[in-house]
Structure 1
Amino acid sequence: MKDLLIEYRKTRLNVLNKIKDLENKDSFRMDDLLVYKDILKDLDYTIEWLKYGHQPGIYKAIDRSQCYLLAHSGLTE
């Protein structure tokens, strides 16, 4: 899993360099820049998922002990 994370980080660095190159050019297509920024956003999301082991942005995950806290009346309904 660590090798996958390393590859994603290398790819992220390459995309960042490409974005900087596009921004420094006088004539560049805005569509290209938007595509690379979307790729960067997706890479950041995936890197965070791989690093922490759960979906990014969800901070109140259900703990294993909390998922069984249900009233018995709720089971019969």
Structure 2
Amino acid sequence: MNLMLKANPNPNPKDDAKKTRTVDLGDGSSVIYVPRFLAYDVAWEFFNYLDNHIPWTRPTLRVFGRSCT
């Protein structure tokens, strides 16, 4: 699987109404949302790769003596 990103500036030419959005997270941080940055199949390839190759963990946290997941 090739993980090189190839950005498509206009993946859906009929959908010009959707523009990028910037969300301010505070403290100088922000997120830039780009609709349809990746094609549908490429996005699922990335998802499947991450799902199968990253050892995701969910630690048990203790808050005031109680376990939380």
TM-score interval w.r.t. the shorter chain? under 0.3
| Higher relative contact order (CA closer than 8 Å, sequence separation 6+) | 1
Q: Which has the larger radius of gyration?
A: 1
Determine which structure has the larger strand proportion and give its number.
2
Greater per-residue helix proportion = 1
